[in-house]
Amino acid sequence: MQVILKQNNKTVLYKIKKDKKKYSLLGKIELESISKLSQKTYIAIWQDVVDIIKVETPKIKNKKLIENLIKTNLINQIGNIVGLEINYKPINQEGQSILFNVFTLQESLFYEFNIPPKYYPKIEKFTSIPFSLTYYNKLIEEKSVLHFYIKDNVFIAVFTVNKVLDFVRITNLPQDTKDLSTLENIILTYRYVNANIAAPDIIILSGERELFNRISDEIYKGLNRPFCELNYEYFFKDNPEELIIPVGILNLEETYNFLPQKIKKEKSLYTIYQFLSVILLLLNLILFLKTFSLTSQVLNKYFSMQEIQQENSRLEKKLDSMIAGKDIQFLTTTYNLLQEKNNHIKSLNEILKLEKDIQRPYENFKYTFQQGKYTITLSYSKSFKTYKEMEMYVESIKSNNKVAEKDYKTKTVKVKVNYGN
């Protein structure tokens, strides 16, 4: 595993090994550029400011609609959002609305690395360095966690509530008065969080252990409450001060991953391509073994589903264009439109259910979708050795959506199936 950190105009590569849940540092190299990637890579940059934007939306379940409402709200708050990678997570879902914490990062910061596109599939995550500390907060049982990280001249404070980042403070510490500046920043940050956000259930320190040993008594007096230091032995086999940030990035949750959407799609396509290569080999084998009649029916059904997915995609794009720039009063119309799309997708699931309890190959297969209503009709035949088996089968499939016609001469049953909403 490798992590690349860019800070103070320096780009440093950390080679890391994990052994029995503990991490060790294999090497550290300063890079002039990233011209080649040989393995999975995690990248993070330094930012002096990390903004957390509060956005409130109606309590609805549809993820796509929530995403569009958040973007509309962001435009009202900060203006232009073009070029921003936007992630969000709910922090309060009580009542009739949901309060989200929204995190953003300029996608141009990623492209500044000038990584050759052929290596994009190797990149797992792209983030800002302060987000790495959320990994350690998330492992703590307490509801609210205030985490102070100090290394060299860097001071970072992150406060999480219910595992969600709710506050970040970043500053530089003067080397000549580092002990005093660290103490003052810890105490003032704690007082601000305690007075304006929430009282932390637990306070943890990480980074320079010698520094904390020197000023631990003063920290305790200033906070007037207990605190603890990160359990380095639990996470690291060696070099804990060097590994805190890189290991946090390796374990970063997707909420704080700002890899540009275009790159994520390319990675997904690459994964799908690899998967489909295997499937294609299996399909070739199946197509070779199956009769032409069955093959034709399977392919017709596949292309029918492809058309349905394309229609869903067109509907989704229409929804995006309709909701852009609109306020929450527009919610009802867009939600109804989306429900129509969801009904469409639901019908595909019904087809898959039907496949489990009917005889194949089908003699006829038809699917229609109009004004939110879908209809599935198909027929198939099944032959039996005895009349008793035939009668038992007809009895077993009796339902409102199946009609069976028996042919006693040939001991064959022809079944017509109708399904819809």
Asked, for residue 317, whether it belongs to a domain, the answer is yes
| Residue 378 to residue 365: CA distance in whole angstroms | 4
**DSSP letter string, 104-150:** EEETHHHHTT---GGGGGGEEEEEEGGGGGHHHHHTS-SSEEEEEEE
Per-residue confidence (pLDDT) for residue 318, from 0 to 100:
55
Asked, for residue 262, whether it belongs to a domain, the answer is no
Range of the domain at 325: 290-420
| Residue 319 to residue 99: CA distance in whole angstroms | 23
Q: What are phi and psi of 212, to 5 degrees?
A: -65, -35
- Verify that 161 and 80 share a domain, yes or no: yes
Asked, for residue 245, whether it belongs to a domain, the answer is yes
- Verify that 113 and 205 share a domain, yes or no: yes
User: Which two three-digit tokens encode residue 195?
Assistant: 């007075």
Using DSSP's 3-state secondary structure scheme, residue 67 falls into helix
Asked, for residue 183, whether it belongs to a domain, the answer is yes
- Verify that 24 and 172 share a domain, yes or no: yes
Asked, for residue 25, whether it belongs to a domain, the answer is yes
Per-residue confidence (pLDDT) for residue 231, from 0 to 100:
93
Which regions of the chain are under pLDDT 50?
Answer: 272-277, 285-296, 298-299, 302, 325-330, 332-333, 357
What is the domain-level CATH number for residue 101? 3.30.420.40
Asked, for residue 280, whether it belongs to a domain, the answer is no
- Verify that 201 and 59 share a domain, yes or no: yes
- Verify that 23 and 167 share a domain, yes or no: yes
Asked, for residue 216, whether it belongs to a domain, the answer is yes
Q: How many helices (H) and strands (E) does the chain have?
A: 11, 17
Number of domains within the chain: 2
Torsion on CA atoms 223, 227, 229, 234, rounded to nearest 10:
-160
103-143: pLDDT as tens digits: 999 999 999 999 998 888 899 999 999 999 999 999 998 89
Element (H, E) at 25: strand 22-31
Asked, for residue 219, whether it belongs to a domain, the answer is yes
58-109: pLDDT as tens digits: 888 778 888 888 998 899 898 888 899 999 999 988 888 899 999 999 999 9
**DSSP letter string, 188-254:** HHHHHHHHHT---SEEEEEE-HHHHHHHHHHHHHHHTS--EE--HHHHBSS-HHHHHHHHHHHT--G
Per-residue confidence (pLDDT) for residue 341, from 0 to 100:
54
Cis peptide before 361 (omega within 30 of 0): yes
Sheet containing strand 202-207, edge to edge, reads 164-172, 154-161, 144-151, 202-207, 228-229
- Verify that 211 and 294 share a domain, yes or no: no
- Verify that 136 and 212 share a domain, yes or no: yes
What single letter denotes the amino acid at residue 142? Answer: E
- Verify that 226 and 315 share a domain, yes or no: no
- Verify that 251 and 362 share a domain, yes or no: no
